[in-house]
């Protein structure tokens, strides 16, 4: 943002975001749309220079859009395009620009067929408003819903209206707004260069310390940031003010210098999901997976099947929550369960092995632990988790005490089990049991 000349329309184009909705002002909804748009626009080379959030009131929407258009090249308005009476953005912006609202026949046809498919005889009256567009507006298709994006012009600025539902907003942005910006501002946009290295299994503080020890004195135009979440830490390299090729050269050089630290923990995943790496490794080796879960309660199966094409590598799984389910569904011994407890190395091992065998899969994962808040014992506090991976008839086990609440323990346990499978597949861990 710094250094952007507000008056110069030949310089880097500037964006302003206007989000519409009482629920945002009242704090019932956190404005993640504005953050997402800010990030995407920075990456494209259209830094956001101001944001407004306004109420579901005609006058407020008009005021914000008018002010925004004065100081920017691009006004992104999110929210208020739905079919209900409190959705006022379309009307307010048309009013501001003195444009009539007209029915768009193609849009109406698409809406009607969408509702017919869902078994309605005719379009609900409220939805008809979503086929109305301000005269002359360009329509950007909505891949996930009924309200399209709308492109207008005000005060020499592009004004783009987007629905507030995050998935729809992101879909329209990626498919429609991105190419529009290339078309309108192309040569003026200077993107920020970014490379992400995904890691899992090493805490942020330790990773940062080791990277600090290895980082070359001269990092050129590149800055480093650590982005931690429950599943791991992304290391983000950012290069500003240089051409993409030079940025890439710097990234390569720094990554090579940091490889001794990153190597054991990193994984390759275009969307940042460890499951991408695991699925790829299974598929390239022609192997299949089955999963037995206790404390993670279906989370691992859910994550694996979140991704399209998972049927090629995933056979199925068992959520063995009750002990009886562990016995009946996975063939665990009642004696073992009673002697060693459900959260034990023997049980994790038997779960991984049992589920692979029963589902006829090449690999198996077993996870058992105490996610909390209840269920802790003196020697097994909340966060205690045993997990195991079976591969080629051999089984490897690990145990950890994860920190955080129930959700955190479950996320960390699922991620750790998937990471162990990946490292076994890639021969980064050897089976020595």
Least distance CB 87 / a copy of itself (angstroms): 9
Query: x/- string (CB under 8 A) for a copy of itself, residues 105-134?
Result: ---------x--xx-----xxxx-------
DSSP, residue by residue, 366-402: EEEE--SSS---SSS-TTEEEEEEEETTEEEEEEEE-
Could you say whether residue 51 binds a copy of itself (CB under 8 A)?
A: yes
Select 91 or 153, whichever has its Cβ closest to a copy of itself: 91
Could you say whether residue 299 binds a copy of itself (CB under 8 A)?
A: yes
Could you say whether residue 391 binds a copy of itself (CB under 8 A)?
A: no
Interacting residues with a copy of itself between 177 and 216 (CB under 8 A): 192, 194, 203-206, 208-209, 212
How far from chain centre, in Å, is Cα 357? 34
Least distance CB 9 / a copy of itself (angstroms): 18
Select 183 or 374, whichever has its Cβ closest to a copy of itself: 374
Q: Which of 81, 91, 26 is nearest to 58 (CA)?
A: 91
Q: How many CB atoms lie within 10 A of CB 34?
A: 19
> How many residues sit close enough to a copy of itself to count as binding (CB under 8 A)?
115
Interacting residues with a copy of itself between 216 and 245 (CB under 8 A): 223-230, 236, 238
Q: Which of 354, 323, 349, 318 is nearest to 420 (CA)?
A: 349
Interacting residues with a copy of itself between 136 and 155 (CB under 8 A): 143-144, 146
Place of tokens 């779960």: 351
- Asked if 176 and 139 count as a contact pair (C-beta separation under 8 A), the reply is no
Least distance CB 293 / a copy of itself (angstroms): 8
- Asked if 331 and 358 count as a contact pair (C-beta separation under 8 A), the reply is yes
Least distance CB 427 / a copy of itself (angstroms): 26
Interacting residues with a copy of itself between 333 and 362 (CB under 8 A): 358-360
Could you say whether residue 315 binds a copy of itself (CB under 8 A)?
A: yes
Could you say whether residue 264 binds a copy of itself (CB under 8 A)?
A: no
| From candidates 5, 84, 116, 338, binder to a copy of itself by CB under 8 A | 84
Place of tokens 């970014």: 194
For 395, residues 6+ apart whose C-beta sits below 8 A from its C-beta are 349, 352, 353, 388, 389, 431, 433
| From candidates 45, 95, 280, 316, binder to a copy of itself by CB under 8 A | 316
For residues 121 and 432, what is the distance between their CA atoms, to the nearest angstrom?
A: 65
| From candidates 285, 302, 398, 399, binder to a copy of itself by CB under 8 A | 302
Could you say whether residue 173 binds a copy of itself (CB under 8 A)?
A: no
Dihedral sign for Cα atoms in the order 34, 36, 42, 46: negative
| From candidates 167, 178, 339, 428, binder to a copy of itself by CB under 8 A | 167
| From candidates 12, 13, 20, 24, binder to a copy of itself by CB under 8 A | 24
Q: Phi first, then psi: give them for residue 249, nearest 5 degrees.
A: -60, -45
For residues 380 and 401, what is the distance between their CA atoms, to the nearest angstrom?
A: 9
């Amino acid at each position: 943002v710094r250094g952007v000349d507000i008056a110069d329309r030949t310089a880097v184009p500037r964006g302003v975001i206007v989000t519409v909705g009482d629920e945002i002002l009242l704090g019932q909804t956190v404005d993640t749309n504005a953050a997402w748009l800010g990030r995407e626009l920075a990456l494209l080379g259209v830094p956001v220079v101001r944001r407004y959030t306004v109420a579901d009131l005609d006058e407020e929407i008009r005021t914000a859009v008018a002010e925004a258009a004065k100081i920017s090249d691009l006004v992104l308005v999110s929210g208020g395009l739905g079919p209900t009476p409190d959705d006022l953005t379309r009307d307010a912006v048309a009013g501001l620009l003195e444009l009539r609202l007209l029915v768009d026949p193609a849009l109406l046809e698409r809406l009607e067929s969408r509702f017919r498919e869902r078994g309605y005889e005719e379009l609900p009256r409220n939805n008809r408003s979503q086929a109305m567009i301000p005269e002359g507006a360009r329509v950007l298709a909505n891949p996930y819903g009924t309200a399209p994006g709308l492109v207008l012009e005000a005060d020499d600025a592009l004004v783009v209206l987007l629905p507030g539902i995050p998935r729809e907003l992101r879909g329209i942005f990626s498919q429609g707004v991105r190419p529009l910006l290339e078309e309108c501002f192309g040569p003026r946009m200077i993107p920020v260069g970014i490379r992400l290295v995904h890691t899992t299994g090493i805490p942020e503080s330790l990773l940062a310390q080791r990277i600090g020890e290895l980082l070359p004195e001269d990092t050129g135009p590149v800055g480093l940031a650590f982005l931690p979440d429950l599943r791991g830490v992304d290391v983000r390299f950012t290069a500003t003010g240089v051409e993409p090729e030079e940025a890439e050269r710097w990234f390569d050089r720094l990554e090579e210098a940091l490889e001794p630290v990153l190597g054991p923990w990193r994984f390759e995943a275009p969307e940042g999901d460890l499951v991408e790496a695991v699925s790829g490794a299974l598929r390239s080796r022609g192997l299949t997976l089955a999963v037995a879960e206790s404390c993670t309660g279906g989370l691992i199966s859910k994550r694996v099947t979140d991704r399209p094409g998972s049927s090629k590598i995933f056979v199925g799984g068992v959520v063995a929550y009750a002990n009886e389910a562990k016995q009946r569904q996975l063939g665990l011994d009642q004696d073992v369960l009673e002697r060693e407890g459900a959260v034990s190395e023997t049980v994790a091992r038997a779960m991984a092995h049992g589920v692979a065998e029963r589902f006829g899969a090449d690999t198996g994962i077993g996870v058992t632990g105490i996610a909390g808040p209840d269920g802790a014992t003196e020697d097994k506090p909340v966060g205690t988790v045993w997990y195991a991976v079976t591969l080629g008839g051999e089984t490897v086990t690990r145990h950890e005490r994860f920190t955080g609440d129930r959700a955190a323990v479950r996320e960390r346990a699922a991620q750790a089990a998937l990471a162990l499978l990946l490292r076994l597949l890639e021969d980064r861990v050897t089976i020595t049991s």
